[in-house]
Amino acid sequence: MNITIIDTKSANLNSVLQAIKRIDNVNVKISCDLTELEHSDKLILPGVGTASAIMDGIKDNDLYDFILNTKKDTLGICLGMQVLATRSQEVPLNSDIDFIDTLNIVPCDVIFMQKDNLTLPHMGWNTVEHDNHPLFKDIKSNTFFYFVHSYCIKDNAYTIGRCTYGQTFSAAICRDNFIGVQFHPEKSGAQGLKLLENFIKL
């Protein structure tokens, strides 16, 4: 099994790489080369930073059309999940726009989380209630995963996992061959590694 972590030049990808290396019978690399991406069995799209930075990286490295049209199973992690949405409220500083366009693979918006009396970013361990999607095979509902984010996708028709922090939001989404998780499986211990194994076995 050949896995490629898509390099958008906007994320520290090593933690995802090291997690995948712990899974048996998997070859994993980091690349933005379209030939290497085409020859991969599955793809992972991580993200750290801002929505505009990762979208710039996707476009600057000629990845936009490839990602939109790929039929390979693709896992978006954290910001990599958020850019699967239609648009995001995470606009550049001092911008006069309300949203930036993202990949529009999953028809939904990324919004700033409701703060109430809670601290943002939502950082640390929280439980995920899931719908028994194969991504969560042998992972109990309400298992803890590790989160770091201030923006979220509301619960919607494509939600397969939910978390609550001031509001209930999508912890995992799925549309066709695209899956996204808001949490960081690579930082979530044994259960996170199990989820990555499940993705590889889909």
DSSP string, 158-192: TEEEEEESSSEEEEEEEETTEEEESS-GGGSHHHH
- pLDDT-derived band at 115, boundaries 50, 70, 90: confident
Looking at residue 78, its pLDDT comes to: 96
Looking at residue 18, its pLDDT comes to: 96
> Is 184 marked active-site?
yes
What is the per-residue pLDDT across 66-113, written as a single tens digit (0 to 9) for each? 999 999 999 999 999 999 999 999 998 888 899 999 999 999 999 999
What angle, rounded to 10 degrees, do the helices at 14-21 and 189-201 form? Answer: 70
> Is 78 marked active-site?
yes
Looking at residue 200, its pLDDT comes to: 97
Kind plus residue range of the DSSP H or E element containing 151: strand 151-153
Q: Which of 149, 163, 174, 186 is catalytic?
A: 186
Looking at residue 27, its pLDDT comes to: 96
Q: Which of 122, 130, 149, 184 is catalytic?
A: 184
Closest CA to 2 of 34, 45, 43, 31: 43
d(CA 145, CA 142): 9
Q: Above 80 in pLDDT, residue 10?
A: no
The pLDDT > 70 percentage for the chain reads 100
- Whether 102 and 64 have beta carbons less than 8 Å apart is answered as no
Q: Which of 32, 78, 108, 152 is catalytic?
A: 78
> Is 149 marked active-site?
no
3-state SS assignment for residue 29: strand
Looking at residue 9, its pLDDT comes to: 82
What is the per-residue pLDDT across 124-156, written as a single tens digit (0 to 9) for each? 999 999 999 999 999 999 999 999 999 999 999
User: Burial, 181: exposed, middle or buried (Cβ in 10 Å; 0-12, 13-18, 19+)?
Assistant: buried
Tokens representing residue 12 in the block = 């520290």
The pLDDT > 90 percentage for the chain reads 90
Q: What is the CA radius of gyration of the chain?
A: 16
Q: Above 90 in pLDDT, residue 29?
A: yes
- pLDDT-derived band at 28, boundaries 50, 70, 90: very high
DSSP letter (8 states) at residue 117 = T
- Domain 2-201 architecture: 3-Layer(aba) Sandwich (3.40)
Task: Report, in this order, helix, strand and coil percent for the chain, each rounded to 5.
Answer: 25, 30, 40
- pLDDT-derived band at 169, boundaries 50, 70, 90: very high
